[in-house]
């Protein structure tokens, strides 16, 4: 293959290294008004009065908007439409937007926002899942505090536990954490010559933005155009409506350019976070290591608004078992509203949480049964032909065992290499190594989530790929262009790209669920093939050769000794008043999960992997250093190996944070001063092993890697700390205080 499988230069890299990329806040416009949001300071309160009288008179203030100015439904939401652009009746968390100030300058807008006074009538808030469950005061939302439950039932759980020789039971907890993207939410909006509201914004899903904003503000979708501006990372935090609604509202009324950028403190306060979870996990297994029964009960705190709550709980339920073949499984999850900051999509969507639990269980089993950690996973691993927990038969591309084997070999090679230089450690430093495996379904859980794409030729034969897929740093611009270029048999650099602009592209679905390579990749490949087909038909006419006899090769259509190239064909079609367009549509083959049993085919394909981690623990201070990582992921096919490696290493870095230092405390965590995530000094060398067990339904065999890259990191680190200290940590993060506590409790002394 010419392009696929090669680490071609990333699209956009040249602009980035020369400082030319224009992110939303870099875009300058004349006569732009600055926006600032006024937010609730109460966790749960009726809005009795909004007094803007002083604020309105601050010099430079143009207008102050409240829910009264919203003409449409004032409702949006990625699944449940339970969120308002500006709250009307009550605020549900500290940070809920109440009013919007538009002013001539940033400082006037900020001053005015501070001068808006709100009269609240407090309603008792619920700040934990327990409180939400048991509360008898006004619920967060009308239908009650329980948002959703998800059950998966397979086999006979009681029989399974009867067969078990050993039972391991523990309750694991994981905290809320923040996405940590360095570019905060930002956008700029203006009216074009036709009066369409155009918004350039940092987003993961422009087509969704368009639909929801239009409905909320009573606009037709053709009255609003969303263009994804270069986006400074997202990790799931830029899927929900953030600045889009405010910008559209202000532009709609003021009819002039408006811009809004969240401060980092504002992002911390008001942007969604990762769901905190409590997972009660019971595993039964035979002496030989084969797991006979798994019973999981877990709860999620989705905070004030549903966002992706339904999807996270469903995905968490499906994945809670881990990449293992078990006959008897009961999984029950509940997601509750509270008056905390709302939780939504964050890289991994519930799986980083449940994998911490399922891998903690595997380690405990291995220890109790005295079976090697690699071995116990291989004994239970899914294979091609296995049936999953939801009753899906996996036909192909189940690389979990291969990742375990490759990591084991790499570990042994490393140990042999290190034998020669025996580093002498201080007596208070304890070393340990750990392992974790995972699986991750590609695409939205049990839902249709298609992608569309098209490839167009201009009259010179220059080809352009049009895709609605948003590039957020994960490399979709590059990878999708590679796939299309490969199918078109043209050099990668010769294919133009237009993407993520509702005025020019069609919906590719959100950049989430690690779906773009697999789903949009298929769509662009099909679009390329469709264009070739259309050209073939025209070539057949021009060359007077039946189309079955035409062969396409690298831009030329040949048959019976004659040939014609794309440029000529394109010219011909244009002369006839036709534009050569190839279209592609792909929706993964799935079935919805049964409400009672959770049975179904939630994903067309799964990515698998295993990570190995070495740590050193300073038992005198509780500090943990991650010293080495071996990361093996079965991605089906690495369209761009350097890209895949970059995602994996980035996922490892994020996982180090999740394992050791990240915690979001509503009300306390305010900025990067108190929210810490790994710096260059915190990330050790990462040995990347790309495993390719091709997915027959994937473009050139590819699956996905964006979220998989993160998932097994924290479980493997905790596993290593557990080994070093001969203890079991069941709460994340393993911060200084927790590690110290376990040191003091355990048999490991912190002495000299």
Partner 1 sequence: MKNVIITFVLNGKKMTMEILPNISLLDLLRDHLGLTGAKKGCETGECGACTVLMNGKAVNSCIVLAPQINGKEIQTIEGVGTESSLHPLQRAFVEKGAVQCGFCTPGMLMSLKALYDEKAKAGREEIKRAISGNLCRCTGYQQIIEAADTAFKARSEK
Partner 2 sequence: MILPEFDFVTFNTLEETLSFLYRHSDESKLIAGGTDLMIKLKSGEIAPKYIVNLSRCEDLNYVKDNNGNISIGPIVTHTELINSSLLNKFVPVLSDAAGVIGSPQIRNQGTIGGNICNASPSADTVPALMVLNSRVKIVSHDEERWTSLKDFFLSPHQTILKGNELVAKIEVEKLAEDTLFSFQRVTRRKAMDIAQMSVAVALVMDENKERVLEARISPGSVTPTPVRIHEAEKILESGKLTDRLIELASEEISLRAIDMTDTLWIPEYKRPAIKGLAIRTIKDAMSKGGEIQ
Binding of partner 2 at residue 625 (CB under 8 A)? yes
Per CB under 8 A, the segment of 11-19, 105-113, 272-280, 715-723 that binds partner 2 is 105-113
CB of 306 to partner 2, least distance (A): 33
Query: Which listed residue (77, 180, 443, 678) binds partner 2 by CB under 8 A?
Result: 678
Q: Is 22 in the site for partner 1 (CB under 8 A)?
A: yes
Counting contacts by CB under 8 A, is residue 681 touching partner 2? yes
| CA 639 to mean position of chain CA atoms | 19
**Is residue 216 a contact residue for partner 1 (CB under 8 A)?**
no
**CA pair distance 263, 25, nearest whole angstrom:** 11
Taking CB under 8 A as the criterion, the residue among 29, 46, 167, 264 binding partner 1 is 264
The HSE-up count of residue 545 (CA atoms within 13 Å, CB side) is 17
The H or E element containing residue 739 is: helix 736-745
Binding mask 143-182 for partner 1 (x = CB under 8 A): ------------------------------------xxxx
Residue 333 contact partner, candidates partner 1, partner 2, none, CB within 5 to 8 A by sort of partner: none
Helices (H), 389-450: 400-419
**Contact status: 621 vs partner 2 (CB under 8 A):** yes
CB of 395 to partner 2, least distance (A): 44
Q: Taking CB under 8 A as the rule, does residue 31 contact partner 1? A: no
Cite the DSSP H helix spans in 617-679: 641-660
Among residues 618, 614, 639, the alpha carbon closest in space to that of 629 is found at: 614
Strand partners, 571: none
Q: Which of 26, 106, 138, 156 binds partner 2 (CB under 8 A)?
A: 106
Residue 675 binding partner 2, by CB under 8 A: no
Strands 581-586 and 451-457 come out as antiparallel
Considering beta carbons, is residue 176 or 343 the nearer one to partner 2? 176
- For the segment 445-504, give every residue that binds partner 1 (CB under 8 A): 472-475
Q: Which is nearer to partner 1, 681 or 752 (CB)?
A: 681
Q: Does 747 contact partner 2 by CB under 8 A?
A: no
Please report whether residue 628 would count as binding partner 2 according to CB under 8 A: no
Start-to-end C-alpha separation, the chain: 59
For the chain, counts of helices (H) and of strands (E): 18, 30
CA distance 498 to 30: 26
Q: Does 104 bind partner 2 (CB under 8 A)?
A: no
Residue 1 binds what, of partner 2, partner 1, none (CB under 5 to 8 Å, by partner type)?
A: none
Q: Is the dihedral of CA 420, 421, 426, 432 positive or negative?
A: negative
| Cα–Cα distance for residue pair 355/371, rounded to 1 Å | 20
Q: Is 107 in the site for partner 2 (CB under 8 A)?
A: yes
Q: What are phi and psi of 415, to 5 degrees?
A: -65, -40
Q: Where are the alpha helices (DSSP H) in 346-437?
A: 351-369, 373-380, 400-419
Is the CB of 74 or the CB of 205 nearer to partner 1?
A: 205
- Report if residue 737 touches partner 2, rule: CB under 8 A: yes
- Taken in order 362, 368, 373, 379, the sign of the CA dihedral is negative
Interface of this chain with partner 1, residues 634 to 693, rule: CB under 8 A? 642-643, 645-646, 648-654, 671-673, 677, 679-681, 683, 685-686
Q: Compute the least distance from the CB of residue 640 to partner 1, in Å.
A: 8
CA atoms of 502 and 469, how far apart (whole Å): 11
What's the closest the beta carbon of residue 299 comes to partner 1, in angstroms?
A: 28
Report in angstroms how near the CB of residue 265 gets to partner 1 at its nearest. 9
Q: Considering the complex, what minimum distance in angstroms separates the CB of residue 19 from partner 1?
A: 3
| Minimum CB–partner distance for residue 645 and partner 2 (Å) | 23
CB of 642 to partner 1, least distance (A): 4
**66: how many CB neighbours lie within 10 A of its CB?**
17
By CB atoms closer than 10 A (0-12, 13-18, 19+), residue 746 is: middle
Determine, following the binding rule CB under 8 A, whether residue 25 of this chain makes contact with partner 1.
yes
What gap in Å lies between CA 440 and CA 11, rounded to an integer?
Answer: 27
Rg of the Cα trace of the chain?
A: 27
Which runs of consecutive H residues, i.e. helices, occur in 240-338? 243-254, 264-270, 309-319
Dihedrals phi, psi of 356, to nearest 5 degrees = -60, -40
Cα separation of 269 and 273, whole Å?
10
Residues that bind partner 2 (CB under 8 A): 106-107, 110, 426, 428, 618-623, 625, 660-661, 676-682, 735-737, 740-741, 743-744, 750-752
Residues that bind partner 1 (CB under 8 A): 7, 9-10, 12-23, 25-26, 28, 179-184, 230-233, 235, 261, 263-264, 472-475, 642-643, 645-646, 648-654, 671-673, 677, 679-681, 683, 685-686
């Amino acid at each position: 293959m010419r392009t696929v499988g090669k680490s071609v230069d990333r699209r956009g890299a040249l602009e980035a290294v020369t400082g030319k990329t224009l992110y939303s806040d870099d875009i300058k416009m004349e006569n732009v008004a600055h926006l600032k949001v006024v937010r609730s300071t109460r966790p749960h309160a009726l809005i009795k009065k909004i007094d803007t009288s002083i604020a309105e008179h601050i010099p430079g203030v143009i207008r102050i908007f409240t829910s009264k100015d919203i003409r449409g439904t004032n409702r949006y939401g990625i699944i449940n439409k339970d969120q308002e652009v500006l709250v009307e009746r009550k605020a549900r968390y500290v940070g809920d937007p109440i009013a919007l100030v538009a002013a001539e300058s940033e400082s006037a807008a900020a001053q005015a926002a501070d001068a808006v006074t709100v009269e609240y009538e407090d309603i008792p808030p619920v700040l934990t899942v327990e409180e939400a469950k048991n509360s008898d005061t006004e619920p967060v939302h009308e239908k009650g505090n329980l948002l959703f439950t998800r059950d998966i039932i397979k086999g006979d759980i009681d029989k399974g536990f009867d067969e078990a020789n050993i039972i391991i039971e523990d309750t694991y907890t994981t905290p809320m954490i923040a996405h940590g993207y360095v570019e905060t939410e930002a956008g700029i909006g203006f009216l074009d010559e036709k009066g369409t509201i155009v918004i350039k914004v940092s987003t993961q899903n422009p087509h969704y933005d368009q639909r929801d904003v239009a409905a909320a503000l009573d606009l037709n979708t053709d009255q609003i155009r969303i263009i994804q501006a270069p986006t400074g990372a997202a990790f799931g935090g830029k899927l929900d409506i953030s600045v889009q609604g405010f910008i559209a509202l202000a532009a709609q009324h003021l009819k002039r350019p408006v811009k809004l950028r969240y401060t980092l403190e504002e992002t911390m306060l008001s942007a969604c976070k990762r769901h905190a979870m409590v997972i009660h996990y019971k595993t039964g297994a035979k002496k030989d290591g084969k797991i006979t029964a798994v019973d999981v009960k877990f709860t999620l705190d989705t905070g004030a608004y549903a966002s992706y709550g339904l999807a996270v709980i469903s995905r968490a339920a499906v994945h809670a078992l881990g990449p293992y073949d078990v006959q008897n499984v009961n999984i029950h999850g509940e997601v509750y509203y509270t008056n905390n900051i709302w939780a939504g999509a964050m890289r991994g969507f519930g799986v980083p949480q449940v994998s911490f639990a399922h891998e903690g269980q595997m380690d405990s089993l291995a220890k109790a049964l005295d079976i090697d950690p690699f071995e116990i996973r291989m004994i239970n691993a899914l294979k091609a032909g296995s049936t999953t927990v939801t009753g899906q038969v996996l036909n192909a591309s189940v690389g979990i065992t291969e990742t375990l084997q490759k990591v084991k070999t790499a570990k042994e090679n490393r140990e042999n290499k290190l034998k020669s230089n025996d580093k002498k450690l201080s007596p208070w430093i304890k070393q340990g190594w750990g392992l974790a495996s995972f699986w991750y379904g590609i695409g939205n859980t049990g839902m249709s989530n298609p992608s569309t794409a098209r490839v167009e030729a201009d009259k010179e034969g220059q080809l352009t790929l049009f895709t609605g897929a948003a590039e957020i740093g994960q490399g979709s611009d590059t990878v999708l262009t590679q796939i299309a270029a490969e199918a078109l048999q043209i050099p990668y650099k010769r294919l133009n790209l237009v993407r993520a602009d509702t005025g020019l592209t069609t919906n590719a679905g959100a950049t989430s669920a690690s779906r773009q390579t697999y789903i949009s990749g298929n769509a662009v490949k099909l679009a390329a093939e469709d264009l070739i087909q259309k050209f073939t038909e025209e070539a057949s006419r021009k060359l007077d050769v039946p189309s079955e006899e035409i062969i396409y090769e690298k831009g030329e259509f040949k048959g019976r000794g004659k040939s014609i190239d794309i440029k000529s064909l394109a010219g011909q079609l244009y002369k006839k008043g036709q534009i050569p367009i190839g279209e592609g549509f792909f929706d993964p083959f799935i079935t919805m999960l049964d409400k009672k049993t959770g049975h179904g085919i939630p994903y067309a394909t799964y990515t698998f992997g295993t990570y190995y981690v070495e740590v050193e623990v300073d038992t005198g201070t509780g500090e943990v250093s991650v010293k080495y990582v071996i990361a093996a992921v079965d991605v089906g096919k690495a369209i761009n190996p350097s890209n895949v490696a970059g995602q994996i290493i980035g996922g490892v870095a994020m996982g180090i944070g999740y394992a050791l230092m990240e915690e979001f405390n509503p009300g306390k965590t305010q900025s990067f001063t108190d929210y810490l995530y790994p710096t260059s000094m915190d990330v050790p060398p990462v040995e990347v092993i790309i495993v390719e067990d091709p997915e027959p339904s994937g473009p050139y065999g590819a699956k996905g890697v964006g979220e998989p890259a993160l998932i097994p990191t924290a479980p493997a680190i905790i596993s290593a700390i557990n080994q070093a200290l001969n203890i079991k940590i069941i709460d994340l993060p393993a911060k200084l205080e927790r590690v110290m506590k376990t040191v003091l409790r355990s048999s490991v002394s912190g002495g000299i």
